[in-house]
C-alpha cells in the first residue's frame, strides 16, 4: 500500500513539474515587443533639429526565441500624427497579430514600426538638405540593421511595406523606387497621390508662412504646418531660414499669386502619380501592390486623387488592387478584431510575401 502511495506521489510530482515546465515554455514563447534606436549618419547637418537617433519598435512572433527559423518582415510607416508606438500602445496590434497568426490568417512575421517624423510632423520619406536623407536612411541603414539584428529572410520577396495616411504615401513612394529591396506594398488611405478637388495653394496661411519668425509659429496652424513640411521635403532651400523653403505662392493685395516654375517642380517631386511614368517598370516587378481609401474621407481631395491614381496605374499597365471602402479613414477602420488590418492587410501579405 505504501509502495503504491509512493508511486502515486512520484507520478503526481512528475505531472506537476511537467505542467510547470509547459507553462514556463509557453510563457517563453509569447510574442515580444522590442525597442531599438539607430544612430544615423543621414541626418547630420539637417537644418531643423531632426535627431540622428531614430527610434523603432519591433514585433517578434511567438516562438521566435525558441527556434532558428527566419521570418519575413513588414516595415510599417504610421501617420506622423499617431506616432510609431501607437499601434501597440493604443491599437492592440500585438494581440491582433498573435490571433491572426494563431488562426492561420497569416504565417509568422516580424513587423518594424519606425519613427519617421520631423519637428513639423511628416518627413515625406525623401532626401532633403533641410530635413535629412529619409529615403537613404530606410534603404541603407534601417533594412540592413534589421537584417543584422533579427532572424529575417533577407530578400526583397520577404520584405513588405505598409503605411497609414502619410505613412502610406511613404510606403508607396519608397516601394516604387526600391523594388530591389521591397517586394510588396500596401497603402492604407494614402495622401499626396495627386491633384485634389482644391488646389494645394488654397490650404496654407500664406501670411503666416511669409512672416513666420520660427517653426513654432507655423505649428499653430495645422494646414500650414503640413504644407511647410511638404515644402521642406520637395522645395527645400537651406539658405532661407527659419522655414528653409522656397514658397510656391504668396498674396498680393489679398490675391493668391502662384509661382508656375516652383509649382511645377513641387508637383513633379511630390505627387505619386507624377512618379508613375519613371517607375512604372519597377512597379510591374512587385509581387503585390494594393492601396485603399475611405469613401467618407472628410477631405474629398484624397478620394478624388486616389481614384485618379488607380486610373493612371491602369494606363501604364501596372497590376494592382485599389479599393474604396465604406468607413472612416482613421485608425478605427483598420485596427481591431473586425478592422481592415485583420480582414485585408494581413491576408494580402500572406498571399504576396515569401515565408
Q: What is the mean pLDDT of residues 297-323?
A: 96
* Res. 331 pLDDT band, cuts 50 70 90: low
Q: Give per-residue burial for 331-349: e unless 16+ CB within 10 Å, then b.
A: bebbbeeebbbbebbbebb
Domain boundaries, the chain: 31-195+271-352, 200-262
Q: pLDDT tens-digit profile of 249-285?
A: 999 998 999 999 999 999 999 999 999 999 999 999 9
Closest alpha carbon to 74 in 33, 116, 111: 111
Q: In whole angstroms, give the CA distance from residue 58 to residue 36.
A: 8
Measured from the Cβ of residue 8, the count of other Cβ atoms closer than 10 Å reads: 10
Number of alpha helices (DSSP H) and beta strands (DSSP E) in the chain:
14, 14
Q: Indicate if the pLDDT at residue 26 is higher than 90.
A: no
Q: Structure pTM?
A: 0.90
182 SS3 class = coil
Contacts of 58 (CB under 8 A, 6+ apart): 33, 34, 35, 36, 110, 111, 112, 113, 146, 150
* Res. 16 pLDDT band, cuts 50 70 90: very low
Q: pLDDT tens-digit profile of 40-49?
A: 999 999 999 9
Q: Indicate if the pLDDT at residue 168 is higher than 70.
A: yes
Cis peptide before 242 (omega within 30 of 0): yes
142 SS3 class = helix
Closest alpha carbon to 125 in 273, 229, 279: 229
Are 166 and 187 in contact by the 8 Å Cβ rule? The answer is: no
Q: pLDDT tens-digit profile of 45-69?
A: 999 999 999 999 999 999 999 889 9
Q: Indicate if the pLDDT at residue 302 is higher than 90.
A: yes
Q: What is the pLDDT of residue 67?
A: 84
Domain spanning 31-195+271-352: CATH 3.40.50.1820:
yes
Are 237 and 245 in contact by the 8 Å Cβ rule? The answer is: yes
Q: pLDDT averaged over the chain?
A: 91
Q: pLDDT tens-digit profile of 198-227?
A: 998 989 999 999 999 999 999 999 999 999
Amino acid at each position: 500500500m505504501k509502495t503504491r502511495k509512493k508511486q502515486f506521489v512520484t507520478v503526481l510530482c512528475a505531472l506537476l513539474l511537467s505542467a510547470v515546465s509547459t507553462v514556463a515554455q509557453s510563457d517563453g514563447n509569447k510574442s515580444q515587443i522590442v525597442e531599438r534606436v539607430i544612430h544615423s549618419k543621414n541626418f547630420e547637418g539637417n537644418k531643423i533639429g531632426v535627431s540622428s537617433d531614430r527610434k523603432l519598435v519591433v514585433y517578434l512572433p511567438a516562438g521566435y526565441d525558441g527556434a532558428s527559423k527566419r521570418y519575413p518582415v513588414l516595415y510599417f510607416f504610421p501617420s506622423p500624427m499617431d506616432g510609431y508606438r501607437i499601434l501597440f500602445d493604443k491599437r492592440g496590434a500585438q494581440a491582433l497579430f498573435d490571433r491572426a497568426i494563431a488562426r492561420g490568417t497569416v504565417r509568422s512575421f516580424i513587423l518594424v514600426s519606425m519613427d519617421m517624423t520631423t519637428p513639423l510632423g511628416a518627413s515625406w520619406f525623401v532626401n532633403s538638405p533641410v530635413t535629412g536623407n529619409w529615403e537613404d536612411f530606410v534603404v541603407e541603414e534601417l533594412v540592413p540593421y534589421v537584417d543584422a539584428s533579427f532572424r529575417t529572410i533577407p530578400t526583397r520577396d520577404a520584405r513588405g511595406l505598409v503605411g497609414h495616411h502619410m505613412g502610406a504615401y511613404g510606403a508607396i513612394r519608397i516601394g516604387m523606387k526600391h523594388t530591389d529591396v521591397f517586394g510588396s506594398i500596401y497603402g492604407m488611405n494614402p495622401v499626396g497621390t495627386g491633384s485634389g478637388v482644391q488646389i494645394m495653394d488654397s490650404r496654407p496661411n500664406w501670411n503666416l508662412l511669409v512672416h513666420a519668425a520660427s517653426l513654432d509659429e507655423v505649428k499653430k496652424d495645422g494646414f500650414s504646418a503640413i504644407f511647410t513640411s511638404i515644402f521642406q521635403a520637395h522645395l527645400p532651400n537651406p539658405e532661407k531660414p527659419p522655414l528653409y523653403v522656397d514658397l510656391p505662392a504668396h498674396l498680393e493685395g489679398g490675391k493668391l499669386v502662384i509661382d508656375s516654375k516652383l509649382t511645377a517642380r513641387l508637383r513633379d517631386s511630390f505627387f505619386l502619380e507624377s512618379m508613375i511614368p519613371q517607375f512604372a517598370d519597377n512597379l510591374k516587378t512587385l509581387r503585390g501592390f494594393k492601396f485603399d481609401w475611405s469613401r467618407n474621407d472628410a477631405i474629398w481631395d484624397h478620394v478624388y486623387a486616389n481614384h485618379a491614381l488607380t486610373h493612371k496605374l491602369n494606363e501604364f499597365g501596372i497590376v494592382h488592387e485599389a479599393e474604396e471602402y465604406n468607413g472612416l479613414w482613421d485608425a478605427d477602420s483598420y485596427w481591431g478584431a473586425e478592422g481592415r488590418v485583420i480582414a485585408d492587410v494581413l491576408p494580402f501579405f500572406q498571399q504576396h510575401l515569401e515565408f
